[in-house]
Structure 1
Amino acid sequence: MADAADDRQGTAGTGSAPPGGARLGLRALVPYLREHTRALALVAVVSLVGAAASLAQPLLVQRIITAVSDGASVAGPAAVAVLVLVVAALVGGLQQYLLQRTAEGVVLSTRRTLVERLLRLPVAEYDSRRTGDLMSRVGADTTLLRAVVTSGLVEVAANVLVVVGALVAMALVDPVLLAVALTGVLLGVVAGVSVARRVRALSLAAQTRVGEMSAAVERALGAVRTIRASGATEREVAVVLDRARAAHDAGVRSARTSAVVSPVMVVAVQGAFVAVLAVGGARVAAGALTVAELVSFVLFLFLLVLPLASVLQAYTLLQQGLGALTRIEEVVALPLEDDDAPAARAPVVARPRAPSTAPTPTVPLLELSRVSFTYPDGTEVLRDVDLVVPHGSRTALVGPSGAGKSTLLQLVERFHDVTGGELRLDGTDVRALPRDAVRRRLGYVEQDAPVLAGTLADNLRLAAPDADDRALHDVLAAVRLTGLVERSPEGLAAEVGEEGVRLSGGERQRLAIARSLLARPELLLLDEPTASLDARSEQALREALATAARASTLLVVAHRLSTVVDSDQIVVLEAGRVVGTGTHAELLETSPLYRDLATAQLLVAR
């Protein structure tokens, strides 16, 4: 049973982006594009070639029409036009491939950045955020960022070049028609941009709802057996579907707004074409313009309108991408688990264990001096705790739920730092040591004894990646788990299932202990190692702990006093304070709370 004060898994924080984050600008994209500069430059060159080929086509059509009108041969201009058309098509295909490849590279590098940060956040961040929402940022949000590259910056730049070239050519053909065309087109652009600006906030809301839905799915799948056994399947389905409907509604609102952009542009463009044809026809009739010039002008108008539509669509996608980027940036901006200790540049190397004949060091391995700890929300868990753990000793922490036992182990692991007093390892305040250097000297078995999906060998080698198969067999034998290898033809390659579902609770607990023992820690921290064990497994574990005690110093949190009665010292915690220290026999005489616990567990007569 977990300490009530130690169960800090919050649900209030969903990790949604703050409203102010929606103001992120294009500059925020630069870090994500920087390592792809060369690829983007190549795309830009290809886009320039494509833009030149596109702008050449109306001029070639004008030459063909003029040649027909003059009775000259059209073979030469037609051949050049076909060649330019083929080049434009090939360049367009190459451009799309390069854009897609670069976009995938941007997505990969963004996911790499997110994963590297997500796995290095302070433990408190995991306590206040939903796992599913964090996963959504790695998946859905980074995927949406792809559109920023594929239909975004580079393509916008290329289309802008085409637009500028078309405007110049149209001005040279007929300034009057240019004024007519621009009147309609600019009205459409202004209206489209004003609508597109709303897309970012709506897209951000939609992505947030998707994150909430992912969190709901992750919650339900993580406890699917409990949900089935409790007859709560339909209720959980309703909860997930409610989140899914919220994501759907937010997505529809974003889509509805985005969909307005296209009709606005269509109306404006068609109006511009009608006006150009009407005015242009009149000018041809008046002799101010030739048919060839009118045709080329209309083709340039196409070249103007299509890129403008693409630019506006890219702008809309860019707003969606910036909405996703807001959520990505929120994670990137989170502080990592700090490791700014003065000794960080010179990692502490764990000293080898002294031979049993060597004198015990005078400085204790672990010492807590008036240690207090309060969570950021103001919940005080430990107060003025004094504790000394000598080298080679076996210390047990006992007490009622909520006493702060598990929190104390987390302070030793530096998942949190003390808010008062000192916690010293070999006489040095752990805050003056790099976290990694501290953790390399420790082994830690959590209360829930997590088992990772994969094989037995994968789980055992998590803390000792270089261990050979013989070492794996030896440590399994030490915790009485040789049966796991023998019952499967795959042996150490046997799969344990998602979260160790193919193992019993006791097997998961002992496998987690074996994993820690394999790393040969100086100090082994065990949080409720017997929580899921039957009497037979408990006895096997007691023997394993006796073996472990010969290689490591042990600090054990226990509710079952029978597993720790032979400890060198037992520390009794109540409401975050030490209320008793001594051996089992001493505490029966001096600690009423310990005597009550022992009596309740039938260790002494009532």
Structure 2
Amino acid sequence: MNELRPWVELIAARWRRLLVGGLLMFATVLAGIGLLALSGWFITATALTGLLLAAGVAAQLDIYTPGGGIRFFALARTVSRYLERVYNHDTVLRLLADVRVTLFSRLTMTRPNRVGAKRPADWLNRLIADIDALDTLYLQLVAPPGLALAGLLLAGLVMAMVAPPLIWSLVPLALLPLVLYLLARHTLAPSRNQGEQAEALRGRFVDVIEGNAELQAAHLWSREADALLHNSRTLDNTRLLVERQAAMANGLTLMAVQLASVIAMLTGLSLWRSGELSGPVALLFTLAVLGLGEAFTGLPAAFSRLGATLGAAGRLNGEGESRSPGDSGPHPGPGNLQFADLVVEQNGEALMRPVSLELPEGGRLALIGRSGAGKSTMLDVLAGLNDNWHGELKLAGRALDPASTRDWRSGVSYLTQRTHLFSDTVAANLRIAKPEAADQELNAVLAAVALTPLLERLPNGLYSMIGEQGRRLSGGERRRLALARALLRPSWLLLLDEPFTGLDSATIEQIRVSMEPWLQGRTCVFAGHNTAALPGTDIQLNLDGSQ
């Protein structure tokens, strides 16, 4: 159960909302019990009064007070149920948002080699299925057991005050935690495996779809299809096992509720015969016990998924890293960058010869070389996105490891080869780099990358939607918008990887001049195949001929 500890602590931060939600759930159950019990009492009392009157015995019954009580409980149950559903579902959405923010925050601190070790299908499962599995934590695994326990204690207290022998009727309900424990124990491993099997099946399915053409060409499609069917049957069998166990526990729960009601009825009958209780009151307690069973009926389904919740929590716990304020390394800031026998690696092999140089604060370095020479990898190292390197790297004379230095990335602006734009407005894509930027500043940086004509052409200027991945823009416009975002970000270290990809020579020359004010005062490292495709630099490092 240790897997759940960090997530329980996270949701406990909203304890006020959880308390209000729990009280609404308790009010709903109490209203249901009151409605059922009072209705039974009223019907019985009315019938007995009618029989007495028919027999010529003087009798009277106040029908207005219990009738008003029945209306009150009916209305209270409807209102509290509505409020409970709305409020608790809003709470769950807030909790899931907290979980996502916490996970994403940890992922931003994760070493990139760990992130890249997973397939996109694995990340899709982690960020959707596993997070969604935690929505059962409060509504099914925390609140309902507490609600059932509170109802059981309250019923026992009332019975002890009115008719102590009726407490025996609660024994079957008090034994249900044992049933739930056995259910959780028997379904823990299969339910946990169910999540892992579902993840493996999704991942393999995505791989097969992506590699469909290659599999068809190699005549391997049938074999992969058979493997998918086998994995699917295995998952179905696991689900069937869990559902069978849950159905059995659900049946035992219903039997316990019915048995508790029968015991309450027989005990009430005995108390009526002895004159300790009236007939209507005896029936009231019988129906109250039956209504209390509502708090227990949903527990088997929740506990049958305990293993899946634990598995999801365990997988999420393994993602991301949290750094303490005492992490080593200098606080990010301007300074001279020194390389001493620096070598970057990929798959255990060096991509270049050892590099030794000093880049002064505010200086500009051009990394020149063929494809695969290690230019982008070195930029990844400087951005703190790659820790596959050895040698020595210093900032202002102090040893530096960008991937593990606290807040290093806060001082870095990086334009990678891959241009990623969001399905939003031009302004929103730029303000990712600087949320407080005014429209005037956005127009200025767009002018620096020769995108003013684009703004004039778009129907709403800065606030025009650009589509998924910027599909409403040309390739060159997408690249320049990403470059503008990198220039806009406040940073002392600017990393640009082939910034002018897809641009013609005239546009390149125009941008090289107009972007100069945005480079002033920054330490810059550019990567490209030749200096003609880069802004002006002070130092050039040719990586060709590396090992």
AA aligned to 1:35 is R
2:8 aligns with 29
Deviation larger for 23-32 or 113-122: 23-32
Of 119, 122, 133 in structure 1, the residue corresponding to residue 110 of structure 2 is: 122
Conserved? CA contact 1:371–1:385, under 8 Å: yes
Distance 2:64 2:244 in 1: 46
Deviation larger for 81-90 or 164-173: 164-173
What percent identity do the matched residue pairs reach? Answer: 23
Please say if 1:307 is aligned against 2:292.
yes
Please say if 1:512 is aligned against 2:482.
yes
AA aligned to 1:405 is K
Distance 1:246 1:560 in 2: 55
Conserved? CA contact 2:246–2:300, under 8 Å: no
Structure 1 pair 209/576, CA: closer, same or farther in 2 (3 Å)? farther
Q: Which 5+ residue runs of structure 1 have no aligned equivalent?
A: 1-21, 351-363, 578-606
Structure 1 pair 95/469, CA: closer, same or farther in 2 (3 Å)? closer
What TM-score do you get using the length of structure 1 for normalisation?
0.68
2:69 aligns with 84
Distance 2:429 2:133 in 1: 34
1:544 aligns with 511
Distance 1:576 1:97 in 2: 69
Q: Following superposition of structure 1 onto structure 2, how do residues 441-452 of structure 1 map, counting pairs within 5 Å?
A: 441-452=411-422
Please say if 1:485 is aligned against 2:455.
yes
Please say if 1:367 is aligned against 2:338.
yes
SS of residue in 2 equivalent to 1:450: coil
1:598 aligns with none
Conserved? CA contact 1:424–1:430, under 8 Å: yes
Q: Which 5+ residue runs of structure 2 have no aligned equivalent?
A: none
Structure 1 pair 199/153, CA: closer, same or farther in 2 (3 Å)? same
Deviation larger for 297-306 or 457-466: 297-306
Conserved? CA contact 1:398–1:572, under 8 Å: yes
Shift of 1:296: 4.8
SS of residue in 2 equivalent to 1:128: coil
SS of residue in 1 equivalent to 2:543: strand
Distance 1:252 1:498 in 2: 40
AA aligned to 2:12 is L
Structure 1 pair 490/280, CA: closer, same or farther in 2 (3 Å)? closer
Conserved? CA contact 1:343–1:433, under 8 Å: no
Of 359, 364, 379 in structure 2, the residue corresponding to residue 389 of structure 1 is: 359
Of 136, 152, 162 in structure 2, the residue corresponding to residue 163 of structure 1 is: 152
AA aligned to 1:453 is S
Shift of 1:489: 2.5
Structure 1 pair 240/152, CA: closer, same or farther in 2 (3 Å)? same
Deviation larger for 487-496 or 465-474: 465-474
Shift of 1:488: 2.6
Shift of 1:571: 1.9
Conserved? CA contact 1:62–1:295, under 8 Å: yes
Structure 1 pair 420/256, CA: closer, same or farther in 2 (3 Å)? same
Distance 1:39 1:342 in 2: 35
Conserved? CA contact 1:397–1:572, under 8 Å: yes
Q: Following superposition of structure 1 onto structure 2, how do residues 149-188 of structure 1 map, counting pairs within 5 Å?
A: 149-151=138-140, 153-166=142-155, 175=165
Structure 1 pair 319/212, CA: closer, same or farther in 2 (3 Å)? same
Of 44, 49, 52 in structure 1, the residue corresponding to residue 23 of structure 2 is: 44
Of 179, 183, 190 in structure 2, the residue corresponding to residue 195 of structure 1 is: 183
Structure 1 pair 349/573, CA: closer, same or farther in 2 (3 Å)? closer
1:93 aligns with 78
1:602 aligns with none
1:262 aligns with 250
CA deviations 1:192-241 (Å, max 9, x no partner) are 652354445444444455556776798899x8xx9899999xx8x97998
Please say if 1:54 is aligned against 2:43.
no
Conserved? CA contact 1:341–1:433, under 8 Å: no
Shift of 1:105: 1.6
Shift of 1:448: 0.9
Please say if 1:498 is aligned against 2:477.
no
Q: Following superposition of structure 1 onto structure 2, how do residues 525-536 of structure 1 map, counting pairs within 5 Å?
A: 525-530=495-500, 532-533=501-502
Structure 1 pair 514/331, CA: closer, same or farther in 2 (3 Å)? same
1:18 aligns with none
Shift of 1:444: 1.3
Deviation larger for 164-173 or 481-490: 164-173
AA aligned to 2:488 is L
What TM-score do you get using the length of structure 2 for normalisation?
0.74
Shift of 1:118: 1.1
Structure 1 pair 421/94, CA: closer, same or farther in 2 (3 Å)? farther
Deviation larger for 258-267 or 160-169: 160-169
Distance 2:409 2:7 in 1: 36
CA deviations 1:419-456 (Å, max 9, x no partner) are 64432334444459996765454331101122222222
Give the total of aligned pairs. Answer: 528
1:596 aligns with none
Q: Following superposition of structure 1 onto structure 2, how do residues 522-601 of structure 1 map, counting pairs within 5 Å?
A: 522-530=492-500, 532-533=501-502, 537-545=504-512, 547-548=514-515, 551=520, 552-559=522-529, 562-563=532-533, 568-573=538-543
2:425 aligns with 455
Deviation larger for 31-40 or 67-76: 67-76
AA aligned to 1:121 is M
Distance 1:561 1:245 in 2: 58
Distance 2:286 2:278 in 1: 12
AA aligned to 2:248 is V
Structure 1 pair 318/383, CA: closer, same or farther in 2 (3 Å)? farther
Structure 1 pair 280/310, CA: closer, same or farther in 2 (3 Å)? closer
SS of residue in 2 equivalent to 1:75: coil
CA deviations 1:518-544 (Å, max 9, x no partner) are 3465443122335x42xx625523552
1:404 aligns with 374
2:93 aligns with 107
SS of residue in 1 equivalent to 2:494: strand
Distance 2:183 2:411 in 1: 59
Conserved? CA contact 2:45–2:280, under 8 Å: no
Distance 2:226 2:102 in 1: 31
Distance 1:382 1:263 in 2: 68
Q: Following superposition of structure 1 onto structure 2, how do residues 128-147 of structure 1 map, counting pairs within 5 Å?
A: 128-131=117-120, 133-134=122-123, 136=125, 139-147=128-136
Structure 1 pair 337/487, CA: closer, same or farther in 2 (3 Å)? farther
SS of residue in 1 equivalent to 2:298: helix
Conserved? CA contact 1:412–1:423, under 8 Å: no
2:383 aligns with 413
Of 452, 464, 468 in structure 1, the residue corresponding to residue 434 of structure 2 is: 464
Distance 1:392 1:64 in 2: 93
Distance 2:508 2:436 in 1: 25
Conserved? CA contact 1:185–1:272, under 8 Å: yes
Distance 1:72 1:214 in 2: 75
Shift of 1:108: 1.0
